[in-house]
Structure formats: structure tokens, C-alpha cells
């Protein structure tokens, strides 16, 4: 049984031509979709699409204690949102998959029985979880005995052949691993569920997987799996272990570094195309200096030969930058929709959104221009357009505390209240004239009025800001700012 198999076979997937490349994304439904998981799925998907191959989704749900039902929805909806379609599964009418390991117990039972009968695995009822890998198991003398090996309370161990496992990893290069360090590892746990390594080998062979791409934290699993491929007489796939994604401080990416789940970025208003673009560049190098790619362009250029061995650092600012490039490709009405969704999430607006509000948001998007880089940024640059009052933070009081600036604001306020034709040219004339009356340059007054109207120091042109805030609100906010901020405050 330890002889090589006949190699991967070509197979037919509905709607596609004959395939020679088959990959899978096999997440465990234990929580949210981490960006590292998403990057792994993306590399598999890009490779499959670049080779006109099959991308298979398999949910590894045999760990009953850690299973989270909602996680399955997060996985499938997340892939759907990113545009990463999968090709086959047990679904009906073209609504494919995913596959679930929990529904495949018969094939695990079949293969473990073969191993036991061949003397390559044995039932074990000692304290499995407490046994060290280098401690011989007293159950070894049960080789070849089927017994009650698939009943609760009895597990199955693999008879480690010893020696060295050598393999060529597409990314990591040639590796030689001492098999002895793994001992007689468990195939079937005492609760009758398969272990990760055993279920993966059985499923990957059954699904005719040709390439396995996963994080390099799985490197220690590969020798175990290769031993099982040989014992079962299965030809192994090629392996590519992808570099880790680290935080900017060099540590593993975690919640303490901010958003790390796919849901977080979706809810912040990032574009799926931008996230795909960014994650593709984490661990993979495109030709030339380009950084902006559509999914179609990534498919056409993707190659495993350009996957880097070293870890990558997640840079949120670069993601924001790439998202802004993709935002620039969107029509104004689509940008406005992203901003409106963010305001609804924040409770500033409520559905349904009126046509007038949509038109108003479109004008705001035109004014913000490239400042609007992702959905939730509207809370920083545009929420004041949809609220009645603005609270000025104490650190901004200095913009409004000078007597000359305050006098100029009063003058401008009175003039703005009398304007008949509310337009930017008229607004600019009033602001500049009010500044000159008190021997001020225009800039201090412009900054002060911006803070009074928006509570911020940056944004679109002040005269556009005043026009969009509106005449009555502008006059009211100027007075409220003078009332809130004490004169000569520091």
C-alpha cells in the first residue's frame, strides 16, 4: 500500500472544459474569516482561474467543540462578496457546494479500515491526548486488529514508519523532515471524528486535488500527510506553503492591531475589488511596478513562481490607498451609495433614503473628491452635512478664540444671513471681505469658519462647504461656535 499511485487524473466539472488543475479552500468554521484565510483562498482561486482549473470549497467541520454555525455563512457570503466563486459540490441546479467533512464519515471509515487491515494503523484506547509523540504507545501490539476502532472511546493511530520525509515545496523549496518527531499520530479520535491530517489526505485524494496552497504554519502537517499518502497508495498533490501575514509591528496579526476579519473591512466600506487587489500583493510580486489590478488582470498575471517565501506585513494605509484608486473608477452615484450605507450603519441616516438625499450625497462626493477613500470616511469628512449641530473639540478652540477672528466671523455671519443668491462666488466674496475689514489674511478666517461648520480642519473648499451646509445651518452654526468657544482660549 505504500507504493505511489497513478497520479492525478483529469476530470470533468459542469460547464468547464477538461481540467488538470484542481485546488481547494478548506476552512474550519470556528469564527470570523481572518484576512490570512482570505489571502489563502484568493491565491487558490487565482491559480485555478489562471489555469482554467477548478476551485473547490470544503468546510472542515469535524471539530465539534469549536464548530460555530454562523461561521459557515460568514465563509460563503465572504467569498461571494469578493467575487471568488467555487466550481462544484453537492448542491443542486448549479448551486454548488460547499462540501462538508461532517457528511463524509463513510470514506474516512473505509480508508482507516484499509490501513488497520494492512497493519499500518491500530486501535488505541489509552489516554491519547496526554501521550507525548516520542512515547511508544502500548497499543502498538494491536496492529492489524479492526476491533471496535470506530466506536466512541477507541481511537486509531498511524504506525509511523520512521525515517525521513523529503519533498519539494513550490514556495519553500526542498525540505527534509525527521518522521520520528511525530510518533504514532492519531487518525481517528476517540469520539470517532477524523483528525485534520487524515481527513485532508482522504478528501484531497477523493476530490483529485492537484495543488495544495495553505499557510506555512501547516508545514509540520505535510510530512504526516505524505506518510499517509504513501501508506494508502495515493499519489500526493504538489504543496505550496504561503508566507504568513504579520502586523506592522512584526507580530502575528490579531484583533489588537485593528480590523482583521473580512466582515470588518466590508462593514467599513472597503471595496471587494480593492481588498482582492491588496491581498494579492501580500506575498506575491507582480511584474514591474504596478500596484493597481482588477481581478481579471490578477488572474492573467498570477503565478506561483512569484510567491515570496518571506512573511508580509499588513499595511492598512496601503490598503486605504489602493481602495481610493478603485473608488476613483466608480461613478459618483456608486460612491454616494457607499457613503450613505456608512451613515446608515452609524445611525445618522435611516432607510429608505430619499432621492433628494441621494442627489445631495452625490454633490458631497463631488466636493470631497479623492479625500473620500473608503465608506466609513464619510463619518470623518461628511457626517456634519447630515446633522443639525456640530461639537467642536477643545483642541480646535484656538482657531476661534482670537478677537479679530471672532469679529470677522460675526461680520461674515450677518452678511451670509442676507444673501439672496446662495452660491460659492457670493460666499467667497463675503468671507474675504470680512477678513480684510479686520486686517486679517483670508486663511485664519477660512480655517475658523471650517471648524465652526464641520468640527474639522480639513475637507472640501470652504466655499463649497458653506454652500452645501446651507444658509440657515451655516448662520446658526457660526453663532453656536462663538457661544461654545471662549475668547482667547488656549
Per-position pLDDT tens, the chain of length 490? 433 233 333 333 334 344 589 999 999 988 888 899 999 999 999 999 999 999 999 999 987 777 788 889 999 999 999 999 999 866 544 556 699 999 999 999 999 999 999 999 999 887 654 555 556 788 887 665 655 555 667 889 999 999 999 999 999 999 999 999 999 999 999 888 999 999 999 999 999 999 999 999 999 999 999 999 999 999 999 999 999 999 888 887 766 666 678 999 999 999 999 999 999 999 999 888 899 999 999 999 999 999 999 999 999 999 999 999 999 999 999 999 999 999 999 999 999 999 999 999 999 999 999 989 999 999 999 999 999 889 999 999 999 999 999 999 999 999 999 999 999 999 999 999 999 999 999 999 999 999 999 999 999 999 999 999 999 999 999 999 999 999 874 4
The C-alpha cell 432607510 sits at: 351
Residues 367 and 415 sit within 8 Å (Cβ to Cβ):
no
pLDDT, tens only, 297-349: 999 999 999 999 999 999 999 999 999 999 999 999 999 999 999 999 999 99
Residues in the chain, total: 490
**pTM of full prediction above 0.85:** yes
Question: 315-339 in b/e burial notation, b at 16+ Cβ within 10 A?
Answer: eeeebbebbbbbbeeeeeeebbbbb
Cell numbers at 366, concatenated: 463631488
Distance CA 67, CA 71 (A): 8
Residue 453, burial from CB neighbour count under 10 angstroms (0-12, 13-18, 19+): buried
DSSP state of 121: E
pLDDT at 314: 93
3-state secondary structure of 139: helix
Supply angle C-alpha 315, 317, 319, rounded to 5. Answer: 75
Reported for 362-367, long-range contacts at CB under 8 A and 24+ positions apart, including other chains, are 362/332, 362/333, 362/336, 363/468, 364/336, 364/339, 364/468, 365/332, 365/335, 365/336, 365/339, 366/332, 367/460, 367/461, 367/464, 367/465, 367/468
- Distance between terminal CA atoms of the chain? 82
The C-alpha cell 491530517 sits at: 197
For residue 471, count other CB atoms closer than 10 A to its CB: 16
- Beta strands 54-59 and 22-25 are parallel
Cell numbers at 195, concatenated: 483528525
Radius of gyration of the CA atoms of the chain, in A: 31
Residues 433 and 445 sit within 8 Å (Cβ to Cβ):
no
Q: Which residues on neighbouring strands pair with residue 238, listed in sequence order?
A: 211
pLDDT, tens only, 34-47: 899 999 999 999 99
Distance CA 83, CA 316 (A): 22
Q: Note the helical H segments in 346-470.
A: 355-368, 378-381, 403-417, 424-436, 442-454, 462-469
Distance CA 399, CA 484 (A): 12
- Cα distances (angstroms) measured from residue 125 to each of 63, 132, 144: 20, 15, 15
- Cα distances (angstroms) measured from residue 474 to each of 8, 378, 468, 478: 71, 19, 9, 6
Closest CA to 392 of 261, 317, 482: 482
pLDDT at 5: 30
- Four-point Cα dihedral 190, 192, 198, 200, nearest 10: -130
Distance CA 417, CA 313 (A): 53
CATH top-level class for 394-484? Answer: mainly alpha
Residues 158 and 121 sit within 8 Å (Cβ to Cβ):
yes
The phi and psi torsions of 139 (rounded to 5 degrees) equal -85, 0
Q: Max alpha carbon distance in the chain (Å)?
A: 101
Residues 430 and 419 sit within 8 Å (Cβ to Cβ):
yes
What are the extents of the domains in the chain? 105-242, 394-484
Residues 405 and 447 sit within 8 Å (Cβ to Cβ):
no
pLDDT at 315: 93
Among the listed residues 151, 255, 309, 441, the single catalytic one is 255
pLDDT at 14: 39
* Residue 10 is a catalytic residue: no
Q: Which CATH number fits the domain 105-242, given the four candidates 3.40.50.620, 3.20.20.30, 3.40.50.450, 2.120.10.30?
A: 3.40.50.620
For residue 483, count other CB atoms closer than 10 A to its CB: 8
Q: Which residues on neighbouring strands pair with residue 11, listed in sequence order?
A: 19
- Beta strands 238-242 and 211-215 are parallel
Distance CA 463, CA 446 (A): 9
pLDDT at 151: 63
pLDDT, tens only, 61-104: 987 777 788 889 999 999 999 999 999 866 544 556 699 999 99
- Cα distances (angstroms) measured from residue 352 to each of 112, 358, 365: 57, 11, 20
Distance CA 156, CA 138 (A): 13
Distance CA 7, CA 114 (A): 20
Distance CA 487, CA 490 (A): 9
Cell numbers at 120, concatenated: 499500518
Amino acid at each position: 500500500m505504500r507504493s505511489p499511485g497513478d497520479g492525478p487524473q483529469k476530470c470533468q466539472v459542469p460547464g468547464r472544459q477538461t481540467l488538470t488543475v484542481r485546488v481547494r479552500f478548506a476552512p474550519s468554521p470556528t469564527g470570523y474569516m481572518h484576512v490570512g484565510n482570505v489571502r489563502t483562498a484568493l491565491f487558490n482561486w487565482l491559480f485555478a482561474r489562471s489555469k482554467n482549473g477548478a476551485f473547490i470549497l470544503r468546510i472542515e467541520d469535524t471539530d465539534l467543540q469549536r464548530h460555530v454555525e454562523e461561521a459557515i455563512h460568514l465563509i460563503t457570503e465572504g467569498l461571494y462578496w469578493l467575487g471568488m466563486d467555487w466550481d462544484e459540490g453537492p448542491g443542486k441546479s448549479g448551486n454548488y457546494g460547499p462540501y462538508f467533512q461532517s457528511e463524509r464519515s463513510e470514506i474516512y471509515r473505509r480508508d482507516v479500515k484499509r490501513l488497520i487491515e494492512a497493519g499500518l494503523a491500530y486501535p488505541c484506547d489509552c489516554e491519547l491526548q496526554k501521550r507525548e509523540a516520542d512515547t511508544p504507545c502500548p497499543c502498538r501490539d494491536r496492529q492489524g486488529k479492526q476491533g471496535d476502532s470506530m466506536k466512541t472511546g477507541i481511537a486509531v493511530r498511524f504506525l509511523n514508519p520512521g525515517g525521513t520525509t523529503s519533498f519539494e515545496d513550490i514556495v519553500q523549496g526542498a525540505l527534509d523532515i525527521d518522521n520520528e518527531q511525530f510518533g504514532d499520530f492519531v487518525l481517528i479520535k476517540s469520539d470517532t471524528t477524523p483528525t485534520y491530517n487524515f481527513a485532508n489526505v482522504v478528501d484531497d485524494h477523493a476530490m483529485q486535488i492537484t495543488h495544495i496552497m495553505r499557510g506555512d504554519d501547516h508545514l509540520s502537517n505535510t510530512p504526516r500527510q505524505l506518510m499517509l499518502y504513501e501508506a494508502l497508495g495515493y499519489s500526493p498533490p504538489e504543496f505550496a506553503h504561503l508566507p504568513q501575514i504579520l502586523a506592522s509591528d512584526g507580530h502575528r496579526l490579531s484583533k489588537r492591531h485593528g480590523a482583521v476579519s473580512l466582515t470588518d473591512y466590508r462593514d467599513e466600506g472597503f471595496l471587494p475589488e480593492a481588498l482582492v487587489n491588496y491581498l494579492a500583493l501580500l506575498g506575491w510580486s507582480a511584474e514591474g511596478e504596478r500596484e493597481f489590478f482588477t481581478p481579471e488582470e490578477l488572474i492573467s498575471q498570477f503565478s506561483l513562481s512569484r510567491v515570496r517565501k518571506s512573511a508580509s506585513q499588513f499595511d492598512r494605509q496601503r490598503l486605504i490607498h489602493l481602495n481610493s484608486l478603485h473608488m476613483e473608477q466608480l461613478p459618483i452615484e456608486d460612491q454616494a451609495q457607499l457613503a450613505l450605507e456608512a451613515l446608515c450603519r452609524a445611525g445618522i441616516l435611516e432607510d429608505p433614503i430619499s432621492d433628494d438625499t441621494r442627489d445631495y450625497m452625490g454633490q458631497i462626493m463631488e466636493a470631497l473628491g479623492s479625500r473620500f477613500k473608503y465608506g466609513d470616511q464619510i463619518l470623518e469628512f461628511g457626517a456634519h452635512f447630515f446633522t443639525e449641530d456640530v461639537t467642536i473639540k477643545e483642541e480646535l478652540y484656538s482657531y476661534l478664540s482670537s478677537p479679530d477672528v471672532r469679529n470677522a466671523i460675526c461680520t461674515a455671519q450677518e452678511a451670509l444671513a442676507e444673501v439672496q443668491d446662495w452660491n460659492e462666488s457670493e460666499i467667497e466674496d463675503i468671507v474675504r471681505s470680512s477678513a480684510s475689514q479686520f486686517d486679517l489674511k483670508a486663511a485664519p478666517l477660512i480655517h475658523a469658519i471650517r471648524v465652526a461648520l464641520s468640527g474639522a480642519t480639513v475637507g472640501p473648499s470652504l466655499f463649497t462647504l458653506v454652500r452645501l451646509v446651507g444658509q440657515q445651518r451655516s448662520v446658526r452654526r457660526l453663532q453656536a461656535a462663538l457661544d461654545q468657544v471662549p475668547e482667547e482660549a488656549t
